[in-house]
Amino acid sequence: MQSRKYEQAFALLPRDQAAEMTSQLRGAQQVLDILHAIDRVRSGVRLDPADEFEWITAFESADLKLMADELFATYARIRTGEVPVDELDAVIHEWQESAWAVRSPGLRAAFGAAADEGAAADEMVLTEPVVSE
């Protein structure tokens, strides 16, 4: 005699629908993992250098809040079908590249020099072009 829990162990779904559900589940797990890391960092926990999200420690608390908000908003748009699941990877990738830039001594020096110099002498404000009739 078969147990009741195995009577309904399978559900048939179209392959594309099952793949979409699996992708959304992976995205949800990814968002939860990074939000958990953000929460830990914002509460003062030091992440292990081997932690996959250690790169978020390059940001201040306010930036981490912005990142969390953007990730949550992106996932909400994925759930409604407004954007594809790949959008989540793109958002995370952009934040990760920003973290590398923040940690780059060369980029920090370049941004610092640009801020110290102000606008270059040969720069000028662009005006709306005049179209002759």
Q: What is the pTM for the complete model shown?
A: 0.71
Q: What is the pLDDT of residue 107?
A: 75
Distance (Å, rounded) from C-alpha 40 to C-alpha 33?
11
Kindly report the CA angle at 24 between 22 and 30, in degrees rounded to 5?
A: 105
Q: Which residues contact 61 (CB under 8 A, 6 or more apart)?
A: 42
* Token pair of 18 as six digits: 């099952």
Determine the average pLDDT of the residues in 101-122: 71
Q: What one-character DSSP code corresponds to residue 84?
A: -
Average pLDDT score, the chain: 86
Q: What is the pLDDT of residue 12?
A: 85
Quick count: other Cβ atoms within 10 Å of Cβ 77? 14
